[in-house]
A and B are shown apart, each in its own frame.
Chain A
Amino acid sequence: MIGEVLKETVMRRRAIRRLHLAYLAVYAVVYISLSAVSTSADPPRWGLWLFVWSGCVLPVLLTIGIFGGDIASGRMMQLVTKPIALGTLYLFRFLGVYLQCVVHLSICYGSVFIVASWTDAQAEGTLGPWFLASLLISPVWITLSATVSTFVSRDFNVAVVFIGAIATFMVLQSADILAAIMSLPIMSEAVTVIGIYGMPSVVLLCKLGMRQCTGTEGIVAAVHPIVMATVYAAIGIVILNRREFTRERN
């Protein structure tokens, strides 16, 4: 059964397969263009770029309508009558999307590593942490977007996650600026803590990617995304089990 559900996460929309190819094509074009103007590729920057695009944006795009689409179309009405627990379905779908991300990230980082090795001997040391950070951040975005998809209709989960992430970032930044203006160090500290620990682990993993973590920080950076993904997944499974499924009229 798991094989069929994993396959479904890739096959359920032609757009998903195209997205992977489009991503690889864009990376190739950008890399070739930049390599032409620059004498050497810059692996640390490539690492950050891959972290943002393949580690944060791609997972969200891969979960487009992962549950919302099924619910709106009425497919969920058939799935829910099958002898499979909705929690299992959620976890298998998560696994399917995550495996795609792992393959995608491996290809991207592997390609950059091979090309960078010809021009920059330091590539191995700089790309590795970013690769690890990307592998750790992907499940957080996948579970967040999949959970949003359990209560947001159709394919709008992607928009909600992106807009929500931008809005949250802006609110935290505004609060931080306000705290600085009003000279409220406690508020500023609270905003920083919320930004680091209350949100998807972007800040922590960026530090990991840039090799700025101490031993303890490294452990926190590795554990935090796992905890966040678990919390998001648990919320998603609870919502799926509690909600009703009716087809949305066009």
Chain B
Amino acid sequence: MRDQSAILCNQVCKSYRARRLGKATSVPALHEISLEVGYGRIVGLIGPNGAGKTTLMNLIAGVLHLDRGEISVGGHPVGSQGAKQSLGYVPEYPAFLEEYTVAAVLNYHAALCHLERSRRKKRSGELLDQFGLQRMRTRPCGKLSQGNRQRLALAIACVLQPKILILDEPSNGLDPVGIVNLREIVRQLSNQGAAVLISSHRLNELEKLAAEYVGIWDGRIVDIGGSVRESGGQLVKIDLDRRPETDLKTILSHEIVRESGTEVTVRIGSPAEISSLVASLTAKGLGVKQIQYGRDEESIEEVFLRISQEKGARE
């Protein structure tokens, strides 16, 4: 199963029709997007508001129609019954029949997925347990909190134990427990071989989940380096015994990444340089209390800000 692509987008283009000054115009939303997501992978979709993330997810889910290009979902053309059988989708703003109870909504969606009556009840029970909704099974959906609505949407998406999961801002409105729960569920599904495409503005959360990222800015895929986290170099964080009186730049020949109080973070080429670094500091009378050494990892948030700045500068 892992050999085949779960989601394959090839040169996908999408425009929206809009009216500007009374004239019908076509507003491009996605330009020739190509993307591949393998089974068992969790891919984070990042980009600013209006970049086209939701449009791409809606196209993969079959909610919108393509202008040009191809999308295959689980080896089936998008929108086909085969694609729908393997797909679970959580939209940005999930909506339910407000008068239905949580259990009834799950039962309804299980019925739409062609589950037999006996299997339906069992599956609904499993999902209520899995998503922590058992206590509110008899509550009407209209009276659910935002977080519980999100849990219910996830439960609905998982009715058929999907091999492909599309999650558009799934942590919207979730409390910390809900977020941890979501993370565990997504990891569990991924470990079972499911491909997960997830978009979120909570980049710290996304970082804990996704192993790969795809950036979309202005409807185009942006190269975020593939290996986002390993941007090269290594960092040494040094805790000094006192605040330096002279400018550290005059003492150290290395690049100073951050400086705050008695803490200074320096970029080095190799671990061997740490001893010369300490020697330079002690020569100026500065004592070293603690040294932390690690790879220079650029967080996804830093990547996001960097790309946004680059884009802004170019414009």
State the CA gap A82–B79 with chains docked (Å): 10
Contact flag A247-B95 (CB < 8 Å), given A77-B63, A81-B63, A81-B89: yes
Interface residues of A in 236-250 (CB under 8 A from B): 244-247
Distance in Å from the Cβ of B281 to the closest Cβ of chain A?
57
For B100, the chain A residues whose CB sits under 8 A away are 11-12
State the CA gap A246–B109 with chains docked (Å): 19
Contact with A along B119-130 (1 / 0, CB 8 A): 000000000000
State the CA gap A220–B104 with chains docked (Å): 43
> Which of B80-88, B176-184, B246-254, B263-271 participates in binding chain A?
B80-88
For A75, the chain B residues whose CB sits under 8 A away are 95-97
For B160, the chain A residues whose CB sits under 8 A away are 83
A1 touching B114, Cβ below 8 Å: yes
By CB atoms of chain B within 10 A, which of A14, A85, A245 has the most? A245
Interface residues of B in 87-132 (CB under 8 A from A): 87-89, 91-97, 99-100, 104, 107-109, 111-114
Contact flag A83-B114 (CB < 8 Å), given A75-B97, A247-B91: yes
Partner of A246, one of B63, B96, B97, B104: B63
Judge if B156 is at the interface, Cβ distance under 8 Å: yes
How many chain A residues touch the partner (CB < 8 A)? Answer: 25
B99 touching A78, Cβ below 8 Å: no
B112 touching A4, Cβ below 8 Å: yes
Q: How many residue-residue contacts, CB under 8 A, span A and B?
A: 80
Distance in Å from the Cβ of B12 to the closest Cβ of chain A?
15
State the CA gap A11–B62 with chains docked (Å): 27
For B108, the chain A residues whose CB sits under 8 A away are 4, 8
A80 touching B62, Cβ below 8 Å: yes
By CB atoms of chain A within 10 A, which of B91, B93, B95, B109 has the most? B95
For A247, the chain B residues whose CB sits under 8 A away are 91-93, 95
State the CA gap A75–B156 with chains docked (Å): 12
Contact with B along A13-26 (1 / 0, CB 8 A): 11000000000000
Judge if A193 is at the interface, Cβ distance under 8 Å: no
For B81, the chain A residues whose CB sits under 8 A away are 83, 85
Judge if A74 is at the interface, Cβ distance under 8 Å: yes
For A74, the chain B residues whose CB sits under 8 A away are 91, 93-95
Judge if A103 is at the interface, Cβ distance under 8 Å: no
Judge if A153 is at the interface, Cβ distance under 8 Å: no
State the CA gap A87–B87 with chains docked (Å): 20
For A84, the chain B residues whose CB sits under 8 A away are 112-114
State the CA gap A85–B81 with chains docked (Å): 8
State the CA gap A77–B89 with chains docked (Å): 9
State the CA gap A168–B7 with chains docked (Å): 50
Partner of B63, one of A1, A3, A245: A245
Distance in Å from the Cβ of B192 to the closest Cβ of chain A?
20
Judge if A79 is at the interface, Cβ distance under 8 Å: yes
State the CA gap A244–B97 with chains docked (Å): 20
State the CA gap A82–B64 with chains docked (Å): 14
State the CA gap A82–B61 with chains docked (Å): 10
For A4, the chain B residues whose CB sits under 8 A away are 107-108, 111-112
Judge if A126 is at the interface, Cβ distance under 8 Å: no
Judge if B58 is at the interface, Cβ distance under 8 Å: yes
Judge if B229 is at the interface, Cβ distance under 8 Å: no
Contact flag A244-B99 (CB < 8 Å), given A1-B112, A77-B91, A82-B84: no
For A13, the chain B residues whose CB sits under 8 A away are 99
Additional pairs, 5, CB under 8 Å, beyond known A1-B114, A74-B91? A12-B99, A78-B89, A81-B84, A245-B63, A246-B64
A-B contact pairs, 26 of them (CB 8 A): A8-B108, A11-B100, A11-B104, A12-B97, A12-B99, A12-B100, A74-B91, A74-B94, A74-B95, A75-B97, A77-B63, A77-B89, A77-B91, A78-B91, A78-B94, A79-B112, A81-B61, A81-B62, A81-B84, A82-B112, A83-B81, A83-B113, A83-B114, A83-B160, A84-B114, A85-B81
- Going nearest first, the 6 A-B pairs with the smallest beta carbon separation are A4-B111, A74-B95, A73-B95, A83-B84, A82-B112, A81-B89
